Chains A and B, each alone.
Chain A
Amino acid sequence: MDRVIVRFIAIIFVSLLLAGCWDKRELNELAIATAISIDKKDDEYHVAAQVVIPTELSTKGGTGSSPVTLYEANGKSVNEAIRKLTLVAPRMIYLGHLRIVVISEELAKEGIDGTVDFLSRGWELRSDFYLIVSKETDAREILNIQTTLEKVPANDLFNILHTSEANYSSTIAVNFFEMKTNLEREGKQGVLTGVQILGDSSKGSSKQNVESIVPEAFIKFEELAVFKEDKLVGWLNDNESRGYNGITNQVKSTVGIVSCPEGGNGNVSIHIKKYKSEMKSKKTNSNNPEIDLKVNIVANLGEVSCDIDLTKQETVKMLEKEFEKAVKTDLQETIKVVQEKYHTDIFGFGATINKENPEKWKKIKGNWDEIFSEMPVNIDVDAQISHFGSVLNPVGRSTSE
């Protein structure tokens, strides 16, 4: 009998240990941040956390006020600022569900090493959120805009980044982990997508912003921020951004424009369906490296406003040639801009040389930035137009010809 009682007590004691986690955090004690922004002004970090208000997101409706709120604080470090958020927020900010981190252009120009260290040291944070850079505006302003289709602005940002990356390929969703890898890797620098506010940003915060069909203020992803080590050195415009994605084989699908082959107004839009680019370091005897870039494209016709006869094989061949030329020019332009303006190897040419020819890399890595700026890149594009859509000849072209 005694044994039974002892066992019984032991079981109760052990289940006490099992029942609760020491580090438990109840849901009603947490403020779930979906996005944070980091600004830096005069040695002070300014952190704003976009926190979701669960009752406003519930299916039963809520009171009709904003679905998110923004808590802000200053501090000498990002970490301190986040702790100081408790001065304005009733709950502890929980970063486990973070989707977006917006870094201001100014902070990026000064360097993001410290920020990246903070984000990777903590146990609470995962590494699958995206980093973006706010262009020509404070990072906090980006989080201060109401959005229409997605109620939570952070999700809006997250999804725009995803869809544009998949369908237009001028943006690139760089998650934290990839950025960190780029900072740690030899011979490859990072890029981040830029984000801007269009319209009247002062009206974006109010819920009225989403009550009209055309919002007063909205967010647009544009341009890629070019990094040299942890510092932002410049921006790539729309065309160059797509060129960058093209060179680094990150195009999923996009649209390319070719002007009419036989002159005249109008152009041909080509949907890129399959895109593959491959980088190789060319074997040369001299010390100066060269890179061979091979691009393979399979595309569909999207829109034709030229007077061309698409029933003929030659026309298609010609279109393909023109398209190859156009792509090649785009890629060349991109490389030229980066080589001449920014002198930073965002394409990973250095990493490619290191992988294929480590001996040479050891010799040249000391003054890689200069060598990179001078290095020739041979581009070879092969395009194939495979599907024409549900009409063969352009609609405008008279069939009797």
Chain B
Amino acid sequence: MQTDKVTPFQFLVLVIFFTVGSSILYIPSTLTIAVKQDAWIAALIGNLLGLVVIWFFTTISLWFPKLTYIEINEKIFGKFLGKSISILFVLMTLLYASALIAQSSIFLITQMYPETPITFINLLLVIIVVMAVRLGIQTIARSAEIFIFIFFFLFIVLAVSISPQIDVTNLEPFFQTKLSSILSSSFKLTAVSTVNSIALFMIFPAFVNEIKKCRKNFYLGSLIGGAVIVSITMLCIFVLGSNTTARQVYPSYTLAKVINVGDFITRIEALMATLWTLALFFKVTLYFYAGVFGLSKILNIKEYRVLTFPVAAIVLFLSIIIFPNILYQTIFDEKNAIVITTIVGLFCPLLATIVFLLRKKKFKKDPDYANSN
């Protein structure tokens, strides 16, 4: 049984990595396609919207501070319905883990390893993810704690070395798109970066120290991660212009490609790719951890580690076949994933809230109920 707990700082780092995730690669082009040079506004709104979502999530989870999301579901909905919703949740996290692995391998194949079979790239990533998850959340959190410094170091290097090429006027004219399309783009970002962080409720609040501080760090992490996304979107528009950004499949990689400091520091994009590899790895790991750990709770298996290999095999297989080409990925990200996220990440918790409020009296006597909140 898992007994390790995560410190507030480690939790903060995990939230940052989760928020940045794959968004750092795709969001600039996804947003600029929809709202052109106003993309950064959309990113900003999406980020702020995320705070509301986190407030909502943490409120639910703090009703039962000792339970994970799966157990809360069971408590509120009863055994059958609760388990059904939890299965939905687990399926979503595992599906997203596969999708993210597939995304990263499509990126690597397009930009670096054109002839390497997708199977091997995915296999390598899955092996590391399984290893991390088997070592437990403490190990994941501690490694994240180390990697966050590398992440921000590289991010600052990227921002500083691209700054000579910034053309501020590329942001003009402001507010050229309709507010409705800005908002709908914002929601997409919120869905990807924040609503999906429902996966983190397998860790929070049951496996963290100092719950109150962690809740604060949840907001903070989401803000910092959001700031990274907003600034990378701005940099893309500053340097590439909105039309070029929209046309790129991987705008932030293109951004790293045009770095040229005095004809001396050039062609450092491969180094910069470490940025999204790191963020992607932690997001996949957290999804996979949530999926496997959640499954063990549903099946009442004491030791979640026995599930890692069989589930990893399914995730690996799915990640290989999920996107035959990049268009599938785009459609999945733009449509399917948004629907799934909305159902599992917003609709189910909302339902839980309604049921909880109706049955509140009964829960007051429950030993797991938090009186302090």
Name A residues whose Cβ lies closer than 8 Å to a Cβ of B. 17, 21-23, 123, 126-128, 177, 180-181, 184-186, 354-358
Contacts and interface: CB of A to CB of B under 8 A. Distances in A.
Given A127-B257, A356-B172, A356-B173, A22 B243 contact: no
Given A17-B120, A358-B173, 11 more contacts: A23-B112, A123-B110, A126-B267, A127-B254, A128-B257, A128-B267, A181-B244, A184-B247, A185-B243, A356-B172, A357-B173
A354 B172 CA distance: 8
A185 B120 CA distance: 40
Contacts of A184: 241, 243-244, 247
Nearest to B266: A128
B207 to A, nearest CB: 29
Contacts of A356: 172-173
Nearest to B258: A177
Given A128-B260, A128-B266, A123 B114 contact: yes
B180 interface: no
Nearest to B109: A123
Contact of A123 (B111, B120, B247, B258): B111
B3 interface: no
Interface of B: 110-117, 120, 124, 169, 172-173, 176, 240-241, 243-244, 247, 254, 257-258, 260, 266-267
12 contacts: A17-B124, A21-B116, A23-B112, A23-B116, A123-B112, A126-B257, A127-B258, A128-B257, A181-B240, A185-B241, A186-B243, A355-B172
Nearest to B116: A22
A247 to B, nearest CB: 16
B1 to A, nearest CB: 24
A23 B113 contact: yes
Contacts, number: 51
Nearest to B174: A358
Contacts of B260: 128
Contacts of A123: 110-112, 114
**The 6 A-B residue pairs with the shortest CB-CB distance in the complex, in nearest-first order:** A22-B116, A358-B173, A355-B172, A184-B243, A23-B113, A23-B115
B78 to A, nearest CB: 45
Nearest to A22: B116
Contacts of A21: 113, 116
A181 B170 CA distance: 12
A186 B240 CA distance: 14
A357 to B, nearest CB: 8
Contact of A128 (B112, B172, B258): B258
Contacts of A180: 244
Contacts of B247: 184
B182 to A, nearest CB: 15
A228 to B, nearest CB: 18
Given A123-B112, A127-B254, A127-B257, A181 B124 contact: no
Contacts of B113: 21-23
A243 to B, nearest CB: 22
B136 to A, nearest CB: 19
A23 B173 CA distance: 44
A159 to B, nearest CB: 11
Contacts of B112: 23, 123
A181 B240 CA distance: 7
Contacts of B117: 22
Given A23-B113, A123-B112, A181 B241 contact: yes
